[in-house]
């Protein structure tokens, strides 16, 4: 959880390229942007917005804003799966349906 903070540009290097981060932002604020510099995007990041991105593949950052904001970022580090002995998963496979 992040309270009233901006987030500098970064990529989630300890994740996997096909995993998605779930970003949720709540509060009473305005003028906030979710920026994806590598994709050339600057998106309005209003209260109640939910975004799923590949944090390893896309650099992402959150701009300054006016008001009070709480953000919840859900992501998984690959080493957690390795420690627990759980396969990290992969893209959908056809043998799942055979």
**The architecture CATH gives domain 2-85:** Sandwich (2.60)
| pTM of structure | 0.78
Q: Residue ranges of the domains in the chain?
A: 2-85
User: Confidence class of residue 96 from pLDDT cuts 50, 70 and 90?
Assistant: low
Q: Which two tokens stand for residue 43?
A: 């998106």
Contacts of 42 (CB under 8 A, 6+ apart): 33, 34, 35, 36, 63
How far the first Cα of the chain sits from its last, in Å, is 41
List CB contacts of 81: < 8 A, sequence separation 6 or more. Answer: 87, 88
pLDDT in tens, 50-81: 999 988 889 999 999 999 999 999 887 888 87
């Amino acid at each position: 959880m992040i309270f009233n903070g901006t987030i500098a540009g970064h990529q989630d290097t300890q994740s996997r390229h096909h995993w998605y981060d779930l970003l949720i932002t709540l509060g009473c604020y305005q003028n906030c942007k979710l920026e994806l510099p590598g994709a050339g995007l600057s998106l309005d990041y209003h209260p109640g917005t939910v975004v799923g991105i590949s944090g390893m593949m896309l650099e992402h950052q959150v701009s300054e804003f006016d008001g009070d904001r709480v953000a919840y970022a859900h992501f998984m580090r690959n080493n957690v799966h390795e420690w627990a002995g759980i396969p990290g998963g992969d893209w959908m496979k056809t043998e799942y349906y055979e």
